[in-house]
Amino acid sequence: MWEDLRPIGLNPRSGGYLRSPFTSAERECAAWYVDQATRRDLSIDEDGQGNKIAWWRPEGATGKGVLVGSHLDSVDDGGAFDGPLGVVSSFAAIDALRAGGFTPQRPVGVAMFVAEEGSRFGVACLGSRLATGLTDPDVARELRDGDGVFLLDAMASAGLDPRLGRSDLLDRVELFVELHVEQGRDLVDRGTEVAVASASWAHGRWRFDFTGQPNHAGTTRMEDRRDPMLAYAMTVLAANKQARLGEARATFGRVSVKPNATNAIPSQVTGWLDARGADAGLVTGLVDTIARQAGERAARDGTSLQVTSESTSPTVVFDCPLSSRLVDILGAPLIPTGAGHDAAILQLAGIPSAMLFVRNPTGVSHSPEEFAETADCLAGVDALTRVLRELSA
């Protein structure tokens, strides 16, 4: 399975992946998922928005099901493991259960959620948010990508027949366990292959639009400029400083400049702030401070600032009884994460959810350097298999 996925969306120069939602590489991954499900005689439910669940429902398996799986999209130039490791491990765990002659008493499903990274339409976990009803379809209808393409048009051009909004896809799900590559070095430090997640930090995305006066780079005296790049530059440094002071995280990882010319003072600089912290109050306080400092600087420069919240997620503590059960089954440690996940969205929507993390020796993620040793991936499959055997018996 890993070899099948390896070339899809690969950037040969960087070694990273570009599997943006509803583009050809991500659709190839979706077709691979359907093929894997079909080969295993799993029956696929879908919600018209791209989210799918492939169900193993042997005779005698009744009631609501145990869901595993993850997502197959990537950030731009992301790693191979964030998302696909969970889907591949889920199919492999079903294979292991079948090879051991195990028949579940409850259905077992492998999920593929779309647009988890928020890389194209700006909203993280968009697929699971829509399926659970946490994102209003009217808001989603207005979402556009960087080229101005509406979400609905992107879905339609990928061959979907979109019906945006809460679907019944998850109505037959009792609980969700998402396996994921670790996105830090906690397990390296502990010398352990697999952990159970305790909580996902509060996080959000804010757009900072700095507006000034476009002018000539050579003829405009320094004191006459209204250059929005200055407040933007200061804001990036302020965000880093405030996050350090508050033991939080703040990143400007994306910027757009108009007109983006070497010999012109910009008319507008837009930067996107990703801010995270252990609790929502900490994040709100952090963003307020950054926005205030940015606004003060913009005013001093004769420029202006508008801040728009694009998406926010509260701290999500994963289901305690379920996570404790996983810890008991596996004897694995409990660790928190600063990343967002579909499992956190399902938990917010009232579906008991938990996560397993597989050691990443680089600790790096959202980058070509993201990695997991094969032996650790196999330990992850083994852990997921044991968990499924217990939870679906």
Q: Which is nearer to ligand GLV, 125 or 377 (CB)?
A: 125
For Mn ion, the nearest residue by Cβ is: 82
1, burial (CB in 10 Å: exposed 0-12, middle 13-18, buried 19+) = middle
In the complex, the smallest distance separating the C-beta of residue 76 from Mn ion, rounded to whole angstroms, is 11
Q: Which is nearer to ligand GLV, 66 or 202 (CB)?
A: 202
Report strand pairing: 202-211 vs 353-358: unpaired
Sign, CA dihedral 124-128-132-137, equals positive
Binding mask 114-153 for ligand GLV (x = CB under 6 A): ---x------x-----------------------------
In the complex, the smallest distance separating the C-beta of residue 200 from ligand GLV, rounded to whole angstroms, is 8
User: Looking at the DSSP assignment, which residues form a beta bridge with residue 234?
Assistant: none
In the complex, the smallest distance separating the C-beta of residue 360 from Mn ion, rounded to whole angstroms, is 12
Report DSSP letters for 60-126, one per residue: T--SSEEEEEEE----TTB-SSTTHHHHHHHHHHHHHHHHTT---SS-EEEEEES--S-TTTS-TTH
Q: Which is nearer to ligand GLV, 162 or 340 (CB)?
A: 340
Q: Which is nearer to ligand GLV, 309 or 324 (CB)?
A: 309
Figure out which of the listed residues 9, 79, 86, 340 binds ligand GLV, where binding follows CB under 6 A.
Answer: 340
3 state SS for 248-290: CEEEEEEEEEECCCCCEECCEEEEEEEEEECCHHHHHHHHHHH
For ligand GLV, the nearest residue by Cβ is: 339
Residue 172 in tokens: 């037959």
- How far, in Å, CA of 349 to CA of 352, rounded? 9
In the complex, the smallest distance separating the C-beta of residue 339 from ligand GLV, rounded to whole angstroms, is 4
Nearest to 91 by CA among 22, 158, 41: 41
In the complex, the smallest distance separating the C-beta of residue 19 from Mn ion, rounded to whole angstroms, is 11
Size of the site for ligand GLV (CB under 6 A): 4
Binding mask 295-334 for ligand GLV (x = CB under 6 A): ----------------------------------------
The interface with Mn ion within residues 308-367 (CB under 5 A) comprises none
Answer left, alpha or beta for residue 336, where phi above 0 means left and psi between -120 and 50 means alpha. Answer: beta
Answer left, alpha or beta for residue 239, where phi above 0 means left and psi between -120 and 50 means alpha. Answer: alpha
Beta carbons within 10 angstroms of residue 19's beta carbon: 28
Q: Which is nearer to ligand GLV, 295 or 368 (CB)?
A: 368
340 interacts with, out of Mn ion, ligand GLV, none, CB within 5 to 8 A per kind: ligand GLV
In the complex, the smallest distance separating the C-beta of residue 201 from ligand GLV, rounded to whole angstroms, is 9
Nearest to 75 by CA among 21, 24, 117: 117
Binding flag, residue 339, ligand GLV (CB under 6 A): yes
83 interacts with, out of ligand GLV, Mn ion, none, CB within 5 to 8 A per kind: Mn ion
Q: Which is nearer to Mn ion, 65 or 86 (CB)?
A: 86
Alpha carbon 258 to its chain centroid, in Å, reads 28
118, burial (CB in 10 Å: exposed 0-12, middle 13-18, buried 19+) = buried
- How far, in Å, CA of 224 to CA of 229, rounded? 14
- How far, in Å, CA of 160 to CA of 154, rounded? 9
Rounded-to-10 torsion of CA 111, 131, 23, 142: -170
Binding flag, residue 250, ligand GLV (CB under 6 A): no
In the complex, the smallest distance separating the C-beta of residue 366 from Mn ion, rounded to whole angstroms, is 6
Q: Which is nearer to ligand GLV, 365 or 385 (CB)?
A: 365
- How far, in Å, CA of 68 to CA of 28, rounded? 21
Q: Which is nearer to ligand GLV, 126 or 326 (CB)?
A: 126
104 interacts with, out of Mn ion, ligand GLV, none, CB within 5 to 8 A per kind: none
380 interacts with, out of ligand GLV, Mn ion, none, CB within 5 to 8 A per kind: none
Q: Which is nearer to ligand GLV, 72 or 298 (CB)?
A: 72
376 interacts with, out of ligand GLV, Mn ion, none, CB within 5 to 8 A per kind: none
The values of phi and psi at residue 165, to 5°, are 120, 180
The interface with Mn ion within residues 75-134 (CB under 5 A) comprises 82-83
User: Which positions lie near Mn ion, rule CB under 5 A?
Assistant: 82-83
User: Which positions lie near ligand GLV, rule CB under 6 A?
Assistant: 117, 124, 339-340
